[in-house]
Amino acid sequence: MAAAIAGMVGFSRWTGEHIATERGEIRRLPLEDGSVATIDSGSDLRVALDEESRRVTLARGQAWFQVAKDRRRPFIVDAGIAQARAIGTAFSVSRTENGVQIAVTEGVVATWARNGAGAMTILKAGDFATFERGALVPATGNSPQAIERSLAWRAGEIALEGDTLSDAIARFNRYNKQQLVLSDPSLANEKLVGLFRIDNPAGFARTLAVSLDISVSMTAEEIRLSRKKIAGS
């Protein structure tokens, strides 16, 4: 399975450690305090647990945290331009070149911009906050179903609900060496609905061939998608 979900168990302590996942690797990491981090493909983070705090530094990528309750030691995720703090809850943090998004699936999380002069935003289950570079406060919203779809990678799946083909391709390519390539840009904004295995871009392409009536050509490295040529054109 290209998107291998590796359960790492049996560690008595995991403090001050650096964790990086490769393309297609999804890792479930139990922490010494009883929390669990589920780490997405192509992510890089560092965990530091001590007697006064629990801190995760996310350099890139995405992780979902199930935080064990410990009021003496706040659980803080540092994602560069944005920070998040929880005591006992479940939430995800995604960091890209364009910004940071924090989404809460359970409990309450406080979040703030690094340069936000101390202003905090409180997020409850189903809420999300998106931080762009230079912004002092995030854009926020509430969309529990969209959050759950965005986290389908935890089960090795990609969930689409009105997403564009270009977005779906980018998500598949995050996990697979065999890359999807859109040869016809006019297909980029086609809207898609469905649940697909992360490690099966070929199956996704075959579904597109039927639903969008497009041409699919495959090699070991690429899957090219284009409109069918009209006879005589």
Torsion-angle region of 212 (φ positive above 0: left; ψ -120 to 50: alpha; else: beta): alpha
Structure-derived torsion over alpha carbons of residues 97, 87, 47, 34, reported in degrees to the nearest 10? -130
Q: What is the pTM of this model?
A: 0.86
Query: Which residue, 164, 151, 103, 98, is CA-closest to 128?
Result: 103
Tell me whether domains 4-143 and 156-227 share a fold: no
- Per-residue tokens: 34: 């009883």
Q: What is the pLDDT of residue 66?
A: 97
Which residues lie closer than 8 Å to 16 by C-beta, 6 or more apart?
Answer: 46, 47, 48, 49
* Pairwise CA distance, residues 12 & 185, whole Å: 51
What mean pLDDT is reported for the chain?
Answer: 90
Distance from C-alpha of 44 to C-alpha of 61, rounded to nearest angstrom:
6
88 or 217, which is more confident: 217
Domain extents in the chain: 4-143, 156-227
Please report the DSSP string for 4-58 in residue order.
EEEE----S---SEEEE--TTEEEEEE-TTS-EEEE-TT-EEEEEE-SS-EEEEE
What is the reported pLDDT for 10? Answer: 33
- Of the pLDDT bands very low, low, confident and very high (cuts 50, 70, 90), residue 13 is very low
Please tell me the class of the 156-227 domain. alpha beta
CATH 3.40.50.300 applies to domain 4-143 = no
One-letter amino acid at 10 equals: G
pLDDT of residue 169: 97
Confidence band (pLDDT; 50, 70, 90) for 16? Answer: low
Using 50, 70 and 90 to split pLDDT, how confident is the model at 114? confident
Express each pLDDT in 147-188 by its tens digit: 999 999 999 999 999 999 999 999 999 999 999 999 999 999
